[in-house]
Amino acid sequence: MSESFDLAVIGSGPGGYRAAVLGALRGLNVVIIERGDWGGCCLNRGCVPKKDWYHSARLVAAQRHFRARGLRGELSGDLAQAWQHQRGVVERVRDSYRTYLKHLKVRAVEGHARFIGPEEIAVEGPEGTESLQARHSIIATGAAATVPAPFEPADGRVLTTDMLFDHEPPPGQRVAIIGSGVVATEFAFILRMLGRDVTWLTRSPPLARLGFSPQALSTLREQFALHGIEPQRVPGYASVQLDAEHVHIEVDGGASFEVDWVLLGTGRSPMTEGLGLESIGVQTDRKGFVERDDRLRTAVPNIYAIGDVAGHWMTANHALSDATIAIENILGGERHQDGRFVPMVIYSAVEMARLGLDEDTAEDEDLEPAIGFAAFETSPRALGQDEPEGFVRLIGDLDSGALLGGEIIGSDAGELIHLLSLAPDRATALAWLARGTWNHPARAEEILNATETLASKWNLQDQIFGVSGSD
């Protein structure tokens, strides 16, 4: 007889883990199934180890200010030791992760899950096949690195980011980074600061599709230039050849590059193979993403899909947000997801964070965007940190004063962006910020300054502060 559960979660990445934890905390009997490493990509090969390296990279980058601050000495990056450090962090987090699941009495099953029916899952594990019953299921199987032609993975020579964190990095000094998205933009900075000579090849401008403003992208370019990093635009890749010591990349048009190894930052593809989705009526789109509605339900009403397997955002932030919404809806809620209002954060030569709409999207939705702006260049806290680059840029609705979107560029942007997402609703978010109390000096004060600028410039005092502005 198979064991029965209220909820089965397939995949233990950030979305799957949060869904299992939150479900258990809300009284559900939960099983979580994982065929690979517990913690998924984020913990083992993504955001957790990468942020560990990013912190080291920032320390190295900061040394250009040491002499003026009265600090002596010089820092240099050691990528091999950095790899060992992140490994220790990952193992410690994984241990705490599994301990907490056990504490919550979440059953953890190792093996490959396959749907037999809408409420039945077969798990092929190391000790055979087990059948589980679940009233609800959440698909959280994540995504795998995409390897575009003519590149082919080769140990120590042509690496995906998965491969980079699975094994100690190659010793070669010269590395080519391929891609223009988040992963390539972050690793161009990280590897440069950790002592590698970086050749960054892109087919399009970095981060061109993520909705960051021209001012934000200009700040990124300026910060890259300070560290001798410049993306080189190429029309395409003609061939990739490996010899005994080097990798030779020939691009369309005849130019060629010789490096010691290659890191691919070329995106990820959803992992649905072998789940048996077709047999139960769960549908996927032409790119392989699981189709779902804005309540995260698939075509089978008791089965939900969250995170990278279902959404093109491909961030742990979206997976975590999805998990919360899926659990609320399983418990009878009617909450809708709008992935645009989940923070998107880039950790590179300058930290970049945004959420919500940009001006073009707002106008497409027949809204009237108004801008509030505050630069860190006059912030006492930013100046004291030698990090005055960047700004806060808020987008409000000219008619209602609602927060439509926001962008924070500069140190700790990934922390500050949360202040734009915590208000009870977007209609009152700017008023919530304007009426708050703030520490001084703090970088966060620039959010208040941008809010006040927005209200004053566009005569929105009544909507935001609850008082009428002067005529």
Say if CB 111 and CB 35 are below 8 A apart.
yes
- Is residue 440 among the annotated active site residues? yes
Q: At what angle do helices 214-226 and 182-193 cross, to 10 degrees?
A: 20
Distance (Å, whole) CA 272 – CA 284: 9
Tell me how far apart the 2 most distant CA atoms of the chain are, in Å: 77
Choice among 55, 246, 418, 440 that is catalytic: 440
Q: Which amino acid is present at 429?
A: A
DSSP state of 469: P
Question: 277 is written with which tokens?
Answer: 């989705």
Phi, psi of 265 (to 5 degrees): -115, 60
In order, the DSSP letters of 394-431 are EEEETTT--EEEEEEESTTHHHHGGGGT-SS-TTSHHH
Q: 197-202 and 174-178: which strand pairing? A: parallel
CB atoms within 10 A of CB 70: 6
Say if CB 119 and CB 135 are below 8 A apart.
yes
What stretches of 296-443 show up as alpha helix (H) in DSSP? 316-330, 359-364, 380-384, 413-416, 429-434
In order, the DSSP letters of 219-233 are HHHHHHHHTT--EEE
Distance (Å, whole) CA 419 – CA 69: 31
Say if CB 134 and CB 7 are below 8 A apart.
yes
Element spanning 370, H or E: strand 369-375
Q: 158-160 and 261-264: which strand pairing? A: parallel
Distance (Å, whole) CA 356 – CA 426: 10
Rg (CA), the chain: 24
Q: What is the dihedral of CA 168, 171, 177, 183, to 10 degrees?
A: 20
**Residues that are catalytic:** 440
